[in-house]
Amino acid sequence: MGRLTTHVLNTASGKPAKQMALSLYSLEGNQRHLIKETTTNDDGRCSQPLLEGSDFKTGTYELVFQVSRYFSKSSETSNPPFLGEVPIRFSIADASAHYHVPLLVSPWSYSTYRGS
């Protein structure tokens, strides 16, 4: 069975981004539907897959990470913060595969890739 997972790395500190809030949406045309809201654990990961089993379907999705809220606890960010919410839009083409969408983020930049 396929599944969707994520993790967040704070590249400014080189450590996992603990307690970062994120939301997962499905996209259908111009409609965005909230599937799940959660936060990362002490390892910067979600404790459970974001999607799995019969809920894991082909389609287009968006993960929205609350970056400014996370970095507001640190002195590394500016006021107002350079980054607010970071959305990552992606598609699932194979419902039997594992899709891992990590976020590498600092107060001033971010990147992502399809992980394993």
- What residues does each domain of the chain span? 3-112
pLDDT truncated to tens, each residue of the chain (116 aa)?
899 999 999 999 999 999 999 999 999 999 999 999 999 999 999 999 999 999 999 999 999 999 999 998 876 677 788 889 999 999 999 999 999 999 999 999 999 999 98
DSSP string, 31-99: EEEEEEEEE--TTSB-SS-SEEGGG--SEEEEEEEEHHHHHTTSTTS-SS-S--EEEEEEEE--TTSEE
Instruction: State residue 84's pLDDT score.
Output: 92
Helix (H, G, I), strand (E, B), or coil: what is residue 13?
A: coil
Domain 3-112 in CATH: superfamily?
A: Transthyretin/hydroxyisourate hydrolase domain (2.60.40.180)
Instruction: State residue 75's pLDDT score.
Output: 64
Instruction: State residue 58's pLDDT score.
Output: 96
* Beta carbons of 85 and 112 less than 8 angstroms apart: no
Instruction: State residue 79's pLDDT score.
Output: 78
Instruction: State residue 80's pLDDT score.
Output: 82
